[in-house]
Amino acid sequence: MKTFATFFSIFFFSSFILHAQTLRTSFRSEERVIDLEKNAGQEFLYLFDSFRQAHVYYPGEYAVFNMNLNILNDQMIIERPGEENQVLSPGRIDSIQIDDKTFIHHRRFGYLEIISGKTQKFHVKYHTSYTMQEIRQGAYGDAPATAAVQSVNILAGQAHTLTDIGEFLYLENQSGNPVRVSLVSRPTFGIIKNNEFITIESRRALNRLYPDHRSEIRSFLRDNDIEFDIRSDLIKLAVFIDRLL
């Protein structure tokens, strides 16, 4: 499986189950075709450190596969020992159970883990975002060209360039100059409201959503030392808000 994004169209997403929080890395490359799997490391490509047994539930039936979530291009990959791995078609899926995690597939936002709720449906979106920045030679060494920096969307399912053309994940550097690729891998907390995935990454975002509960939210975040990029903290927060409402 080979997937590419051009230097001027960069929208990929991911994160790794062994991270408790945000991971960052960067690397320099002078290649025109940059192999992400070789340079980024497994933790920026896959949610789990190995393929896991997964129960895939369809209306009235289920199937069992060994799978892993590729969080760079937001695909569930089925392991086929001795054969080429296969991408799971999400069309009829109700849910996917891997270990203690339940995933759904949203037609706009891709794979989301359900982490709570009776009152509000809270989800975690695992993603790796990246930017590719052209490096130009200056009188005093390398200098980044700020005009070449591309911002990266954090939600899979929105506009991105994906083309299935073969064997590995790569970026195409059209500048002809050395580039620095920076990757950030993290879980993002949010809810689906009015058919939008609303991210919740700060106390301010929570206050906007639940303005009548500002003091309770402030106390909970302070007393429990909640971090918005740690999955166990996000589960605590989801349970708290569910009870609050």
Q: What is the pLDDT of residues 106-134, one digit of tens each?
A: 988 899 999 976 777 899 999 887 788 88
Residue 53 or residue 170, greater confidence: 53
Q: What is the pLDDT of residue 88?
A: 95
Q: What is the pLDDT of residue 73?
A: 80
Under 8 Å between Cβ of 186 and 23: yes
DSSP three-state, residue 82: coil
Q: What is the pLDDT of residue 140?
A: 52
CA dihedral 22→5→108→125, nearest 10 degrees, is -10
Residue 178 CB neighbours (<10 A): 16
The average pLDDT across 205-232 equals 94
Under 8 Å between Cβ of 30 and 240: no
Q: What is the pLDDT of residue 141?
A: 53
102, pLDDT greater than 90: yes
Q: Rounded to whole angstroms, how far apart are CA atoms 107 and 238? A: 23
Q: pLDDT tens digits, residue range 14-40? A: 333 444 578 899 999 998 888 877 888
pLDDT band at 5 (very low <50, low <70, confident <90, very high): very low
Q: Rounded to whole angstroms, how far apart are CA atoms 162 and 141? A: 35
Query: 145 phi and psi, to 5 degrees?
Result: -90, 105
Q: What is the pLDDT of residue 58?
A: 96
Q: Rounded to whole angstroms, how far apart are CA atoms 159 and 11? A: 7
Under 8 Å between Cβ of 166 and 1: yes
